[in-house]
Structure 1
C-alpha cells in the first residue's frame, strides 16, 4: 500500500505498488518547470538561421548588417566552431553549422545571440546568404540511383553490408531457411507509411551558462545526457569534463530528443559571449529541428499451408532516413529483425534498406522500425486469414512464437514471451455493445464535424499482434550507472543521469531504492553528467530494466559497505550491464554470437471502430489490449504508458502525417498537423501479463513501445473490416474510405 510522505507530498511506495507520477499534477496544473522556463542573470537569447532550400550550395554569407544591429552580441557561422565541425548520434555526418552545402529545409546555417528575442530575429533577417540550388533527392526509390548526398559514405566500414548504390545508409539482408519454400496459399501486398512527428508538448529549449574557466553548463530537455556531452565537447574543442549537461524539465520525447538540437549552438554562443544564452524553438522550428519517424514502403509476400501454418515470408523494406544518418542504421535493423512479427516462420528473405534523401531527417520514434513492419505484416495476416477462411485470431494463435522457437536471425528465444497467453487474453475481452442511431454528433465518426445522423456509419472489429526488442542490440555496449549515498541519519540519496521524459523513471528509481534499502527516506539528486556516470538513453524500452539494475546493485553495495565500516556515511557507484549481445552477420543477417537482442515483449489488441463511409470519417470506439510486461514495477504507470502508446498509434493510423513538397514541410503547426485529443481517445481495457523475464532486474520489461507498435495495425484491421477496403497506407485519409 502506498502512502503520501510528509513534507514532500510525493507518493512513496515499493516495487509492484500503484504510484502517481511525481510530475503528473504539476504538468496538469501548469506549475511544472520546463526547460523553456529557465533563466539566468545577464542572459542573452539565441536564435538560428535555417536553410530555405532542401539542397543547395552555399555561395556566400554576409554578416555585416546583422553585426551592426543594436543588442547583437554574436553572429556565428561554421568558421567560428573551434573544434570538430561535425557531430551525430551514431555517425558524425551532420555539420554544427552548414559549411558549403545544405541538405534539408531547416538546416542551421548561422546562430546569433542578442539582448532580446526580437533583436535576435532582426539579426537573422539581416544575414544575407546566397545559395545555388541543386536538384533535391526526395523519392526514396530514386535515391538509390541519384547523385550521392554524402559521397564519403559515413556509415560504411562499420560492420554493415557494403552496398555500392548511392545514398544507402544501411542495407541489411536476413536469409532464414529456404527463401524459395512454397506455400499452398500466397498473399502479397505493398504498404506505405507517411512521416510521423513525435509532437511532444515542450519544444526544444535550453540554457547554456559559461563557467568562467573555459567550460560550460548546458541545462536542456534531452533523452541522453552523456551522449549529448560526448557530441558537444569535441565540437567546442573541450574535454568532456568541461561540458556538463544537466536535465531540465522535459515535455515528452518519444525519440525526438535523442539527437542534439540547441546544445552545441547554445554552448557555442555562451562561450563566445561569456554570457548565459537561452534558446527556445517555436513550434514551426521544432518541426524542422528534430528527427521524425521514418516513412516506409514495404512489399510483402506471405506463404502458408492450407491449414494456416506459415511456410515462408519475403519482405522488402525501404526507409527514408532524410538528410543525415541519426539512428537509421538501428531502425533498418529493427524493421528487418521484427518484420515477421511474433510468429514462427522457418523460411524467410527480408531486405531492409535505409536511404539518405533531402527530406526532413528521420531517426528514433517510439517503436522504431517495428511499427512500420507490424503495420504491413499484420495486414498480410488478415489477408491470409481471409484467403484461408480462418478466424484471424486462430491464425495468429496457430503460428505464435514462444520460448524455444528461433527468430529469423537464428537467435533462440530463451526468455519470457507469452505470445499465446497475450493473444488469448486480448481476444477474450468483451466487446462494447453498439450504440443506437441516431445519436449526438460528438458520438459519431468525426465528432462535432459530422453533419449526418449516422446513416453511413459502419462498425468494424480488428485484431493485431506485435512485438519488439527491449534494450539496445547488436553488440552495443549498453550500460547504466547509479550512485547511492547512505547518510549517517539513515536517509539515502540516489544519483543517476537517467532522463525523466514523462515515462516515470524517477518513480522506478525511488521504488527500487526503497525496496532494497528498507526505508522510505530516499531522495533523488539532480540528473547531471557532473556527479555520476552515464545511464544511457531514455529509449528502446530500456530505462526501467537498466536503471532498476543499476540502482539495485548500488543499494546492495552501499548496504554491504556500511556493514563493513559499522556506520557513517557511505558513497558507492555501480555500473549495470545486461547480457551481452553481438552484431548480425552483414551478409546473412544471422547472429554471430548467442543473441543480437536482449529480450522481447509482445502485445495484442482488439479494437472496435466506426466509419462513416459517406463522409470518410472515423472513430475508434474501444481498445482492448493484453501486454507482456514481465513484472509491473508500477502498474499505474504501466497502464499510462500503454494508453499513451495507443494514442500515438491512433494518430499514425488516421490523422498524423508531415506533408512535404520538394523536401519542405507544408504543415509545420498543430493547426495543420493533427494529433489525437482526449475526444479522439477511446476507453481502453488493459490486461497486464506478468511472466518474469529471467535476466531482468525484478523480472521487469520495458512497456512504452509495444502499444504503439500494435495499435496502428489493429486500427487498420478494424477499418478494413468496416469498409471492405484494402487500406494499405497510413494515415488513412477520408478519400480512402468513402464508398
Structure 2
C-alpha cells in the first residue's frame, strides 16, 4: 500500500519480481508436465521430412555416388548431393570454414553427411536414404598425436589456408597457443619438491535430451523461414545465407523450443540441409534427428592428454608450473582454436605462480569433431592441475585444502597471461566455506528398518550391504573465464518497448538470446521490472528481426544480454521521464531537480515521492529503443608468449566430494558434492542454485561414467546411444548443498558474475580426489571405470 510522506505526497512501492528475487520460470510448469512445445513438436500441414545419409567409415575417398534408386521411390521429392548445392560457397564453420555442407570427394569422420533426402513421410525418407549407393575407398585414419604429426602423416585437410596454418608446426595441428611467463626451468632448479603427472580426459557428449530438430518454410519472396533449436541465431544466419545463395534478409530465423544445449548447438546441424530441401521442393521441410544420429550430428567435448609438472618450496609455495595440453579437435575446426586459448590461459588454475611454461594445441584427426561444451577447455585443464595440487600437498605432508589456500589467487593477482584480476577472487574463502559445510553421516545406508541398497555402490543391483565399502573425501577448485575472449567483438542487442495496454503500463523485451534452459527469459523480465518499475513484462520470441545477442555460451548471456537490456531500459526510462517533464513538470519542482525513478508503475523521486502515474505519463504514446551493448574489450593472446588481457571476467567454484567405493567390485557411489561459488550478484537466487547443481551433475558424469568411445583403429564411434553412453540419473545424483557468495564485480551489470560453467570444472577432480582417497590409487584418467579400481584394466 502507498505510504504518506510529510509533503502530503505518496511513496511508491517497489515492483515485485525484480532483480535479486527468486522468480519462477514462465516455461517451468509446461516443461515438467510435458506440455512445452519443443522444436521437434513443430508441424506444418503440407510439410515433407528430411533425412541425411551419413558415412559409415571415418576416412575414405568417395569413388561413386548413385541416387537413382532413392529418387525412384514413391513419395520422394528430392535427393541432394554436394553437386546439387546452389552456390560456390559449400563450406561453413564457426571460425574456419572447413566443414562441407555435404561430403565432396572424401569423408573425414564417421557419420559425416553425404546426401540429403526429402520425402512425404519420415520412414520413406529413411528408406530412400538407405537406397543411395556410395562406393568408398578407405584411407588410413589419423587418431592421435603420433599418427597426426608423424613425418609421413596423412593430412586430414590438404592445402590448408586458414589463418592458423602459419603458426603451427604441422598441418594436422589446428592451433597452438603457448603461455610463457618468467623462467620455469630456472624455478624448477630452485624447487624443493617437483611432482609430475600424465592425465587422460575422455570425450564427453553434451547429451541434451531434445535432439536436433527444425522446420524450414519457403516464403513467397523466394526466401526461407527457419524455426530451429540453436544457441546462436545470428551465427547460424551468417553461415547459412552464403550457402543458400540468399541475402541475409531473406533467411529469417525464429528460435524454437530448445531441449538443452551445453555447447552442442553452437555449430550448425541440419539448418542448411532443411533450408536447401525447402527451397528445392517449395514445401516446408522438417528434420528431427533420432538419438543415434544426434551422437553424430553435433560436436563433443575435446578428449585430452595432459602432462604437468609442479614445483614447490618446502613451506608450500608454488615455484613453477610446466604443462603440455593436447586436445583432439577431430575432423573439423569448430570452436577448437578458442578452446585451446582457454585451456592454455587457465591451465595453471586459480593459483599464484610466477614462472609458467604451457603449450596447448588442438589436432585435426579423423575422430568425431569436437568443439564447445560447458567449461570450454578449462574443464580438462582443471582435472589435471587439481590432481597435481593433491600430489604436491601429499609430497609436502600438507592438508590439500590448506595448500591450495596458501597459493590461492585474490583480487590484484596476476595470471600467467599477465592479466591482473581486477575483481573479487575469493578462492581461499570458497575453499574454507566448502570445507566447513557439515559432512554427510557415516553409513547412511543403515537405519532401524535395515539396509537401503539405493545408498550403496551398485544401488538397486544389490551387490553389497556395506562389505568392502570405503569412504573418501576430496576437494577441488577451478577458474573459468566469462564471455568471449581474445579480442572477439562480444556484444548483445536489446529492443525494449514501454506502453499502456489495457490501462496498465507494460514492457516488451525483444532480444535474439537463445533460451536453452539457463533461465534468461526469467532474468530479462526481472531486469525490465527493476529498471522500468512495471509489473507486466512480455519476453518476445527470439528471432533475427532484432540484432544479435551472441551465443548462449561462455556464461555470458546474463552479463551481456542482461547488460543490453539494462542499458536499453535506462534509455527508455530517460525518454519517459523527459516525456513526463514536458507534460507535468510545471506542477512540482521535483520533476526538474530530483533523481527520478520508475517504481511500481509510477514516477517517483529518490526519496519515494510519487509525482505521476506512469499510465498518465505515457498516454497513447509508446517508447521503444533498440541498442547494442559491449563489455570492456579484450585482446588476442600473443602467439609466442601468450601474454595479453584476453578475458573479460572470471568465475570461481570449489567442491567437496564425498564418495563411497566398493573396492572389490570397483563401484562408486557419490554421496555428496558440496559447492561454494561466488556469483557476484544473484539476480535470481533460485535459478543460480539450479545452474550450480546442473553444472555439478555434468562434472559428476564425466568423473565416473560419461565417455564417447572411439575405436583407436577405425575411428568409429562404438557407443552412439543412451544404452551404452551413460549419463547420471536421479539415482546417481548426490546431495548438492550450495553456499552462494556474492562479491560484486564493479565492471559488470549489477555486479553479477557468470554462473553456469564454473561448477562443471571443479566437480570432476573433486570426485576423482575422493575416489583416490578411498582407494589409494593414482587414477589419472577420467571417467574412472570399475576396472581401474580393481586392477583389471
Task: Name the TM-score, length of structure 1 as normaliser.
Answer: 0.96
User: What CA distance in whole angstroms lies between the structure 2 residues aligned with 1:99 and 1:421?
Assistant: 55
Who is 1:186 aligned against?
194
Shift of 1:231: 0.6
Contact 1:321–1:362, Cα closer than 8 Å, also in 2: yes
The structure number with the bigger radius of gyration is 2
User: What CA distance in whole angstroms lies between the structure 1 residues aligned with 2:16 and 2:222?
Assistant: 41
Q: Which moved more, 1:17-26 or 1:689-698?
A: 17-26
User: What CA distance in whole angstroms lies between the structure 1 residues aligned with 2:444 and 2:506?
Assistant: 59
Contact 2:445–2:453, Cα closer than 8 Å, also in 1: no
List runs of 5+ in structure 1 lacking aligned partners: 1-10
Who is 2:177 aligned against?
172
User: What CA distance in whole angstroms lies between the structure 2 residues aligned with 1:172 and 1:263?
Assistant: 32
Question: Is 1:497 matched with 2:512?
Answer: yes
Paired residue secondary structure (2:145): coil
Who is 2:156 aligned against?
149
User: What CA distance in whole angstroms lies between the structure 1 residues aligned with 2:469 and 2:166?
Assistant: 50
After superposition, residues 43-58 of structure 1 pair within 5 angstroms as 43-58=47-62
List runs of 5+ in structure 2 lacking aligned partners: 1-14, 581-617
Aligned mate of 2:647, from 597, 601, 619: 597
After superposition, residues 516-555 of structure 1 pair within 5 angstroms as 516-529=531-544, 531-555=545-569
Aligned mate of 2:422, from 388, 391, 414: 414
Contact 1:366–1:705, Cα closer than 8 Å, also in 2: yes
After superposition, residues 654-673 of structure 1 pair within 5 angstroms as 654-661=704-711, 662-673=714-725
Q: Which moved more, 1:258-267 or 1:553-562?
A: 553-562
Aligned mate of 2:776, from 724, 733, 738: 724
Paired residue secondary structure (1:660): coil
Q: Which moved more, 1:483-492 or 1:130-139?
A: 483-492
After superposition, residues 273-672 of structure 1 pair within 5 angstroms as 273-435=281-443, 439-489=451-501, 490-529=505-544, 531-565=545-579, 567=618, 568-591=621-644, 595-661=645-711, 662-672=714-724
Who is 1:693 aligned against?
745
User: What CA distance in whole angstroms lies between the structure 2 residues aligned with 1:318 and 1:450?
Assistant: 40
User: What CA distance in whole angstroms lies between the structure 2 residues aligned with 1:440 and 1:569?
Assistant: 62
Contact 2:494–2:568, Cα closer than 8 Å, also in 1: yes
Q: Which moved more, 1:667-676 or 1:563-572?
A: 563-572
User: What CA distance in whole angstroms lies between the structure 1 residues aligned with 2:333 and 2:258?
Assistant: 24
Contact 2:445–2:455, Cα closer than 8 Å, also in 1: no
User: What CA distance in whole angstroms lies between the structure 1 residues aligned with 2:258 and 2:111?
Assistant: 23
Paired residue secondary structure (1:135): coil
Contact 2:444–2:455, Cα closer than 8 Å, also in 1: no
CA deviations over 1:505-547 (Å, ceiling 9, x no partner):
1001000001000011110111100x21000000001011011
CA deviations over 1:1-33 (Å, ceiling 9, x no partner):
xxxxxxxxxx97110001222222211111111
Shift of 1:154: 4.5
Paired residue secondary structure (2:429): helix
Shift of 1:437: 6.7
Paired residue secondary structure (1:679): coil
User: What CA distance in whole angstroms lies between the structure 2 residues aligned with 1:697 and 1:609?
Assistant: 38
Question: Is 1:116 matched with 2:125?
Answer: no
Contact 2:704–2:784, Cα closer than 8 Å, also in 1: yes
User: What CA distance in whole angstroms lies between the structure 2 residues aligned with 1:341 and 1:400?
Assistant: 9
Aligned mate of 1:238, from 236, 242, 246: 246
Paired residue secondary structure (1:16): coil
CA deviations over 1:303-356 (Å, ceiling 9, x no partner):
000011000000000000000000000111111111101000000100001001
How many residues are aligned here? 724
Q: Which moved more, 1:715-724 or 1:146-155?
A: 146-155
User: What CA distance in whole angstroms lies between the structure 2 residues aligned with 1:731 and 1:418?
Assistant: 29
Who is 2:139 aligned against?
134
CA deviations over 1:63-117 (Å, ceiling 9, x no partner):
1111111011110011121121000011100000111110011111101100001
Question: Is 1:21 matched with 2:35?
Answer: no
User: What CA distance in whole angstroms lies between the structure 1 residues aligned with 2:347 and 2:491?
Assistant: 27
User: What CA distance in whole angstroms lies between the structure 1 residues aligned with 2:718 and 2:420?
Assistant: 46
User: What CA distance in whole angstroms lies between the structure 1 residues aligned with 2:717 and 2:444?
Assistant: 42
Contact 1:212–1:274, Cα closer than 8 Å, also in 2: no
User: What CA distance in whole angstroms lies between the structure 1 residues aligned with 2:371 and 2:679?
Assistant: 26
Paired residue secondary structure (1:213): coil
Contact 2:507–2:538, Cα closer than 8 Å, also in 1: yes
Who is 1:7 aligned against?
none
Paired residue secondary structure (2:257): coil
Shift of 1:449: 1.9
Question: Is 1:101 matched with 2:106?
Answer: yes
Contact 1:311–1:347, Cα closer than 8 Å, also in 2: yes
User: What CA distance in whole angstroms lies between the structure 2 residues aligned with 1:475 and 1:598?
Assistant: 10
